[in-house]
Structure 1
Amino acid sequence: MDVRQPLQLLAGLSPTQFMRQHWHKKPLLVRQAIPGFKPPVPRAALLQLAGREEVESRLVQHKDGQWLLRHGPFSRRSLPSLQTREWTVLVQGVDLHDDATHALMQQFAFVPQARLDDLMISYATDGGGVGPHFDSYDVFLLQALGRRRWRIGRQKNPTLIEGMPVKILAHFEPEEEYLLEPGDMLYLPPGWAHDGVAEGECMTYSIGFRSPERAGLAHEVLLRVAEAAADEDDAPIYRDPRQSAVATPGAIPAQLQQFAREAVQHALAQPGALERALGEALTEPKPNVWFEPSSSRGLFERVVLDRRTRMMYDDQHIFINGESYHAEGPDAELMQRLADERALPPQALAHASDEVLQTLSAWCDAGWAHA
Structure 2
Amino acid sequence: MTKPTSQLSSQPTWPRGDALGEIGAEQFLAEYWQKKPLLIRQAFPDFQCPVSGDDLAGMACDEEIESRLVIGRDKEWHLQQGPFDEEDFAALPPSHWTLLVQAVDHWVPEVHDLLQHFRFIPDWRRDDIMISYAAPGGGVGPHYDNYDVFLIQGHGQRRWQTGQLCDSNSPLMDNDQLCLLETFEGDEDWTLNPGDMLYLPPRVAHLGEAVTEHCITLSVGFRAPSEQDILMDFSQLAAQELSEHQRYSDPDLELQPHPAQITDAAIDRIQAILEKYAGNRELIAQWLGETMTRSKYPEFEEDMEPAANEALPLDTRLAWRKQDKSDQVQLFMNGQCYVLPATQKALIEKLCNNRTLSQTEWQALGIQ
TM-score tier by shorter-chain length is 0.7 to 0.9
Superposed displacement of residue 260, structure 1: 7.4
Superposed displacement of residue 32, structure 1: 1.4
Q: Does 1:47 align with 2:57?
A: yes
Instruction: Give the match for residue 12 of structure 1.
Output: 22
Three-state SS of the structure 1 residue aligned to 2:163 is strand
Distance of 1:269 and 1:161 partners within structure 2: 39
Please list the CA deviations of residues 37-76 of structure 1 after superposition, one character each: whole Å capped at 9, or x if unmatched.
Answer: 2222211121121122222211111169621112111112
Q: Does 1:106 align with 2:116?
A: yes
Conserved? CA contact 2:128–2:220, under 8 Å? yes
Superposed displacement of residue 236, structure 1: 4.8
Q: Does 1:160 align with 2:167?
A: no
Superposed displacement of residue 83, structure 1: 5.8
Query: Where does structure 1 lack aligned partners over 5 or more consecutive residues?
Result: 244-249, 363-371
Instruction: Give the match for residue 140 of structure 2.
Output: 130
Please list the CA deviations of residues 107-142 of structure 1 after superposition, one character each: whole Å capped at 9, or x if unmatched.
Answer: 211101221111111111010011111112111000
Please list the CA deviations of residues 272-329 of structure 1 after superposition, one character each: whole Å capped at 9, or x if unmatched.
Answer: 2222122111112124553444667x678xx322211111112222111111122342
Instruction: Give the match for residue 327 of structure 2.
Output: none
Q: Does 1:305 align with 2:316?
A: no
Instruction: Give the match for residue 174 of structure 1.
Output: 186
Alignment coverage as a number of residue pairs:
343
Aligned amino acid, residue 285 of structure 1: S
TM-score by length of 2: 0.80
Indicate the structure whose relative CO is greater, using CA pairs within 8 Å and at least 6 residues apart. Answer: 2
Conserved? CA contact 1:155–1:192, under 8 Å? yes
Aligned amino acid, residue 184 of structure 2: F
Instruction: Give the match for residue 120 of structure 1.
Output: 130
| 1:164-243 matches, cutoff 5 A | 164=175, 165-201=177-213, 202-229=215-242, 236=246
Superposed displacement of residue 163, structure 1: 1.4
Please list the CA deviations of residues 184-207 of structure 1 after superposition, one character each: whole Å capped at 9, or x if unmatched.
Answer: 111111122111110122111000
Conserved? CA contact 2:152–2:196, under 8 Å? yes
Q: Give the alignment partner of residue 331 of structure 1, picking from 344, 348, 351.
A: 344
Conserved? CA contact 2:140–2:208, under 8 Å? yes
Distance of 1:279 and 1:149 partners within structure 2: 38
- More moved, 198-207 vs 285-294: 285-294
Distance of 1:295 and 1:327 partners within structure 2: 17
Query: Where does structure 2 lack aligned partners over 5 or more consecutive residues?
Result: 1-11, 254-259, 324-329
Instruction: Give the match for residue 257 of structure 2.
Output: none
Q: Give the alignment partner of residue 161 of structure 2, picking from 151, 163, 170.
A: 151
Superposed displacement of residue 338, structure 1: 1.5
Conserved? CA contact 1:312–1:336, under 8 Å? no
Change (3 A) 1:355 1:224: farther
Distance of 1:200 and 1:353 partners within structure 2: 48
Distance of 1:169 and 1:294 partners within structure 2: 43
Aligned amino acid, residue 115 of structure 1: R
Change (3 A) 1:295 1:116: closer
Distance of 1:273 and 1:185 partners within structure 2: 38
Change (3 A) 1:200 1:274: same
Three-state SS of the structure 2 residue aligned to 1:229 is coil
Q: CA RMSD in A?
A: 3.4
Q: Give the alignment partner of residue 285 of structure 1, picking from 272, 295, 309.
A: 295
Instruction: Give the match for residue 334 of structure 2.
Output: 321
Distance of 2:234 and 2:364 partners within structure 1: 29
Distance of 2:163 and 2:142 partners within structure 1: 10
Aligned amino acid, residue 37 of structure 2: P
Q: Give the alignment partner of residue 85 of structure 2, picking from 62, 65, 75.
A: 75
What is the percent sequence identity of the aligned residues?
36
Conserved? CA contact 1:30–1:186, under 8 Å? yes
Distance of 2:268 and 2:354 partners within structure 1: 47
Superposed displacement of residue 353, structure 1: 9.1
Distance of 2:271 and 2:289 partners within structure 1: 24
Three-state SS of the structure 1 residue aligned to 2:241 is helix
Distance of 2:212 and 2:90 partners within structure 1: 15
Conserved? CA contact 2:75–2:173, under 8 Å? no
Distance of 1:207 and 1:121 partners within structure 2: 9
Distance of 2:316 and 2:239 partners within structure 1: 25
Change (3 A) 1:353 1:71: closer
Distance of 2:281 and 2:188 partners within structure 1: 50
Q: Does 1:58 align with 2:65?
A: no
Instruction: Give the match for residue 366 of structure 1.
Output: none
Distance of 2:362 and 2:136 partners within structure 1: 57
Change (3 A) 1:6 1:170: closer
